[in-house]
Amino acid sequence: MAARYPQAQITGVDVYPIQRRVGIPPNVKFEIDDVENPWKYPDNTFDFVHARSLAGGVRNWPALFRQVYNKLKPGGLFEMTEIALNIFDFDGKFAEAEMCPEFLQICRDLYKEVDMDFNPSPHVPDWLVEIDFEKVVQRSEILPLGNWAQDEKMKTRQRLVNKITNEDYCTLDNHCGLLFQKGGWTKAQYDALMPDFWKEIYSGDIRPYIRA
């Protein structure tokens, strides 16, 4: 974004200093803050606000969206990307699998125990409309997990997903880890569960995917 629009001033916000320290474009700055805190910027400041992978870290989504609405200039754009903490398969073979059904059931049980919405996507359009956002559009994209994709479009997505699921910043793993932590699991318990889960994902016996 910074390279494409060098005339723009871009501010990145995160609760931890995870950003790289070299190669940062001159029109980019980073701030350490919680987006649920009151924003220090005046109303009508931003032309564009992008939020990504906040599920599991936000307690009051409508309040956050209200801040976004107030800080955007009239006619400004808000874009949000979230990966639903759920796994689907094309062939309906989860019943024949072992770890995927167990993992998903654990997730569903933990949803009920924690006071936080880890899957806000179904509610976001209504929340935005209630806050007076206009021209609200929601898109859902399939992101293949494993190695089953055939056409080039899906292969490109699959390569991206496989790359991030093998990095420390894996979005899916971050969300799952946070959910399990809030549900009382230790890191050792979570780490013991996940290898068999990923082995099944990459086994070729099922064609799993996630949605963003």
> What secondary structure does DSSP assign to 23-53, as a single string?
S--TTEEEEE--TTSPP-SPSS-EEEEEEES
Q: Which domain holds residue 49?
A: 34-211
Q: What is the pLDDT of residue 163?
A: 76
Between residues 45 and 211, the one the model is more confident about: 45
Residue 25 lies in a domain: no
Cα–Cα distance between 104 and 88 in angstroms, integer?
A: 10
Q: Which two tokens stand for residue 205?
A: 């016996």
User: Does 91 reside within a domain?
Assistant: yes
CA distance 20 to 129: 36
Tell me whether residue 191 is in a domain: yes
Confidence category of residue 19, pLDDT binned at 50, 70, 90: low
Residue 84 lies in a domain: yes
* Cβ–Cβ < 8 Å for 168, 59: no
Classify residue 64: in a domain, yes or no. Answer: yes
- Within a domain: 11: no
Residue 17 corresponds to which tokens in the numbers above? 């200093």
pTM of the complete model beyond 0.85: no
Highest mean pLDDT among 40-44, 114-118, 205-209: 40-44
In a domain, 89, yes or no: yes
Residues 6+ apart with CB under 8 A from 97: 200, 205, 206
Please count the structural domains in the chain.
1
pLDDT band with cut points at 50, 70 and 90 for residue 171 = low
Residue 15 lies in a domain: no
